[in-house]
A and B are shown apart, each in its own frame.
Chain A
């Protein structure tokens, strides 16, 4: 398909792990990103991964990339209430250089 796709909603309990999934479209995309948006705020870059990597870990965040399936995931370990936000995955379209976003996954963390 033409769209970057994400599930719309995820609810977890505080302390659990959260896994947010994304399917992207451009197999030639060099970078893939995860952004976080808190209510009423702009976008905060959480992490990114080069297309030649399978995994990247940064403190509580783990990004997994499956290029064959064009699947990207973000795992948040020990999820906290402050992690409640909308998470967007994004790809760079190789032919235009444009950054294209998924629909966003709303993460709800219950105490």
Chain B
């Protein structure tokens, strides 16, 4: 079945640094990738939609300059959290549409110290 590989699974970084999260579609081409953020004990909030070869579209309230999304190829989408702060600590997860639904990456636990 369709698999989305997400890396890293966990990352700890210092305030002010940037962190890149990668999602790769392993056995299919993902023209679209959705990026979600999940706060502790909360639901998944859609942050943005990346489309291969074009600019990402961001949900209301999501800072474009803080959360940089790139979808340079049909198999790779990246989310870069720039100038990270402790409030950016969260669980980030990507998802790509497949035949009947959506396949999710395994998620990235980001902790900013």
Contacts and interface: CB of A to CB of B under 8 A. Distances in A.
Given A31-B101, A43-B93, A101 B44 contact: yes
Given A99-B95, A100-B46, A102-B43, A33 B106 contact: no
Place the interface of chain B in its size category: 20 to 34
Q: Is the interface of A mostly helix, strand, loop or mixed?
A: strand
Interface in A1-49: 31, 33, 35, 40-43, 45, 48
Contact of A98 (B34, B43, B101, B107): B34
Interface in B48-75: 49
Interface residues of A, number: 19
B91 to A, nearest CB: 9
Contacts of A31: 100-101
B99 to A, nearest CB: 11
A41 B106 contact: yes
